[in-house]
């Protein structure tokens, strides 16, 4: 973790209980360079009753950038280093401008989540008045990282009057397999699925998370996401089984058609097989 001893350092973190949709919070702590002779300071304490972990990570960075705008400049400080343990934030920073220019979609046309906050982050970056460099760090590996993690969790555990107005919960059930949902490798195939979460992504289109399962063995295989029209999504009820047809674009998977309703396997799969 490269640190500049002459820079202002800001450490951010987000937290969500029962992600997504649970109590959520975020925090940021600033650490000043020695020559300013100032104590560490918590600059953000936000808690709300409902949001997601990724949104809290983004909000922490946005609020930190706004604080830089309002608090700087500082004598003999030429830059700010903003530390986040969120790979979602750090790995997508360079993509966010492309998404904004493409009306909330990536270069393959796939709708991206949390565009309201990505737009706020991009706007806040242009108004800091001083260079801000984002750094990724593994969380809870130093006293200050432990402190900001604790502060974010405390904010989530005891939400005050804050509200994440941009959060859209959708409908949520539990996945039957462990692990995060990945992009479905759509190749025009027909597959048996069990939807467990759906939420509006862009106007007229929803993002659906679902488990795949093998009708022969009765085993759940893996968790994926794809997109579908609002009209088709209304026929995909969470917790039920369907045989569906996908498009042939692995970069922008879409459910095109519901072929049939199928019986669901009853047991939960704790391990994901290597093959679909």
Task: Take residue 178 and report the two structure tokens written for it.
Answer: 């462990």
pLDDT bracket for residue 201 (50, 70, 90): confident
What confidence tens digit (pLDDT) does each residue in 14-31 have?
Answer: 999 988 889 999 999 999
Task: Take residue 26 and report the two structure tokens written for it.
Answer: 């975020």
Q: Say yes or no: domain 8-157 is CATH 3.30.70.260.
A: no
Rounded CA separation 52/18 (Å): 9
Q: What is the overall mean pLDDT for the chain?
A: 92
The residues spanned by each domain of the chain are 8-157, 171-262
Angle between helix 87-101 and helix 115-125 axes, rounded to 10 deg: 90
Rounded CA separation 79/67 (Å): 14
**CATH architecture group of domain 171-262:** Beta Barrel (2.40)
Please give the distance of CA 197 from its chain centroid, rounded to a whole number. Answer: 15
The answer for residues whose C-beta is within 8 angstroms of residue 174's C-beta and 6 or more apart is 196
Task: Take residue 47 and report the two structure tokens written for it.
Answer: 């808690």
**φ and ψ at residue 53, rounded to 5 degrees:** -65, -45
pLDDT (0 to 100) of residue 65: 98
Contact between residue 273 and residue 221 where contact means Cβ atoms under 8 Å apart:
yes
pTM over 0.75: yes
Beta strand 182-183 with 219-229 is parallel
What confidence tens digit (pLDDT) does each residue in 103-160 have?
Answer: 999 999 999 999 999 999 999 999 999 999 999 998 888 999 999 999 999 999 987 6
* Burial tier of 19 (Cβ tally within 10 Å: 0-12, 13-18, 19+): middle
The answer for residues whose C-beta is within 8 angstroms of residue 263's C-beta and 6 or more apart is 241
């Amino acid at each position: 973790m490269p640190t500049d001893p002459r820079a202002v350092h800001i450490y951010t973190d987000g937290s969500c209980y029962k992600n997504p949709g649970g109590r959520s919070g975020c925090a940021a702590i600033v650490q000043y360079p020695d020559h300013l002779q100032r104590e560490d300071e918590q600059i953000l304490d936000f808690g709300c009753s409902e949001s997601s972990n990724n949104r809290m990570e983004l909000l922490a960075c946005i609020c930190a950038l706004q604080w830089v705008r309002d608090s700087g400049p500082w004598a003999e400080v030429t830059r700010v280093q903003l530390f986040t343990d969120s790979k979602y934030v750090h790995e997508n920073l360079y993509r966010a401008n492309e998404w904004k220019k493409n009306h909330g979609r990536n270069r393959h046309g796939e709708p991206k989540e949390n565009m309201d906050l990505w737009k706020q982050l991009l706007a806040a970056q242009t108004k800091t008045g001083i260079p801000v460099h984002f750094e990724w760090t593994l969380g809870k590996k130093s006293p200050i990282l432990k402190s900001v993690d604790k502060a974010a969790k405390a904010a989530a555990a005891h939400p005050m009057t804050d509200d994440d107005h941009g959060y859209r919960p959708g409908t949520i059930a539990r996945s039957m397999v462990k692990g995060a949902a990945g992009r479905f490798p759509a190749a025009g195939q027909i597959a048996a699925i069990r939807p467990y979460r759906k939420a509006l992504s862009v106007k007229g289109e929803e993002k659906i998370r679902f488990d795949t399962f093998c009708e022969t063995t009765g085993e759940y295989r893996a968790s994926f996401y794809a997109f579908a029209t609002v009209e088709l999504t209304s026929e995909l009820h969470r917790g039920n089984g369907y045989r569906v047809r996908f498009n042939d674009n692995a970069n922008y998977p879409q459910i095109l058609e519901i072929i049939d309703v199928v019986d669901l396997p009853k047991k939960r799969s704790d391990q994901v097989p290597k093959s679909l």
